[in-house]
DNA sequence: TCAATTGCGTTATGCTATAACGTGTGCGAT
DNA sequence: ATCGCACACGTTATAGCATAACGCAATTGA
């Protein structure tokens, strides 16, 4: 369950994501790392694949972007769904977990004999600051 | 709230989606409509935009594809979230609604003073038939 | 030492989506 | 009637996202 030591490229990508204040696309990450020798998208995508596998980064499907996990210590992800509220003005992402939602969804899926593997729960809108 | 009369292009795209047994990408739709005079992606995307606006088609963010609404008559979408279970083997999509999940998510968002506008709930996995 | 695994770099390619321009048609206001 | 506007449409070009396929180097473990 513990995260393996990150390689150089993985560390660079992870650092960029942890310092960012909003989700980043793979190509934005690439641009930020050109000074560190990155030249091609694959260098970013390969690092992201590993970081996603380790659970320290999340992919936001609805905006084709990536964000560092907001709860790196809790290993909450192993036993529950993750949901994201994404502000369309400032880009801020709130990551949250709710076991009641989890169980409700899981029960429904079970009733359909559907074997869940990956889940995406993303709410786009405006955060408290941006809602005006 | 009633759906306007569809234009020719909108009807063609909608028909392709309703006859399909799995979600289709915009470019797959384009290929299926070349015989009907479609030549460029924009013809598909413009029709899809309208169909999405009318609520008769859904976009599946996690697989960049589109599917006809499974509950065209209920106007359930206006007052609740929609969730999808997507089989990664056969492509079958089960569309469902659950008010308890809705309310739970909405309550949480309200507590964060987050103003929700669009939501995405997609579960990928394997359907009863494909789960082997 | 040899084979298998893993990470890395590069080039090329494919898939997804939109920008920008111009045309034609219908329809209400003048 | 005709002007102005909104809307659908067609086309070309471009932007943005993601992976295939190749080869090399370092690591590991038998
Ligand atoms: Zn997380
Ligand atoms: Zn905001
Ligand atoms: Zn629907
Ligand atoms: Zn299936």
Q: Which domains does chain B have, with CATH numbers?
A: 8-68 (1.10.10.10), 76-125 (3.30.1490.190)
DSSP-assigned states of every residue in A52-74: HHHTSEEEEGGGTEEEE-S-SSS
Helix (H) or strand (E) holding A65: strand A65-68
Task: Judge whether residue B78 has pLDDT over 70.
Answer: no
C-alpha distance from residue A18 to each of A27, A40, A66 (Å) = 16, 21, 10
Q: What is the pTM of this model?
A: 0.93
Task: Judge whether residue A1 has pLDDT over 60.
Answer: no
The answer to whether the beta carbons of residues A86 and A126 sit under 8 Å apart is no
Please report, for chain A, how many H helices and E strands are present, in that order: 4, 5
Query: What is the percentage of chain A residues whose pLDDT exceeds 70?
Result: 95
Over the stretch A54-71, which tens digit does the pLDDT of each residue have?
999 999 999 999 999 998
Residues of A with CB under 8 A from a CB of B: 61-62, 83, 85, 87-88, 94, 96, 98, 100-101, 104-105, 108-109, 112-128, 131
Closest nt by CA–C1' to A66? D17
- pLDDT at residue number B105: 95
pLDDT confidence tier of residue B80, bands split at 50, 70 and 90: confident
Q: Which of B99, B105, B113 to mutate to test the interface with A (most CBs of A within 10 A)?
A: B105
Task: Judge whether residue A28 has pLDDT over 80.
Answer: yes
Burial (0-12, 13-18, 19+ Cβ within 10 Å), B86? buried
Rounded CA gap, A70 and A92, in Å?
12
């Amino acid at each position: 369950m513990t995260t393996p030591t990150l390689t150089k490229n993985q560390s660079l990508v992870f650092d960029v994501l942890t310092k960012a204040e909003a989700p980043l696309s793979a190509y934005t990450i690439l641009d930020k790392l050109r000074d560190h020798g990155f030249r091609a998208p694959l260098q970013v995508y390969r690092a992201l694949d590993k970081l996603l596998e380790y659970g320290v980064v999340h992919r936001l499907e609805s905006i084709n972007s990536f964000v560092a996990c907001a709860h790196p210590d809790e290993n909450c992800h192993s036993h529950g769904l993750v949901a994201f509220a994404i502000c369309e003005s400032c880009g801020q992402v709130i990551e949250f977990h709710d076991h009641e939602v989890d169980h409700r969804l899981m029960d429904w899926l079970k009733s359909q004999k559907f074997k869940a593997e990956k889940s995406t729960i993303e709410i786009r809108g405006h955060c408290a600051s941006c809602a005006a």
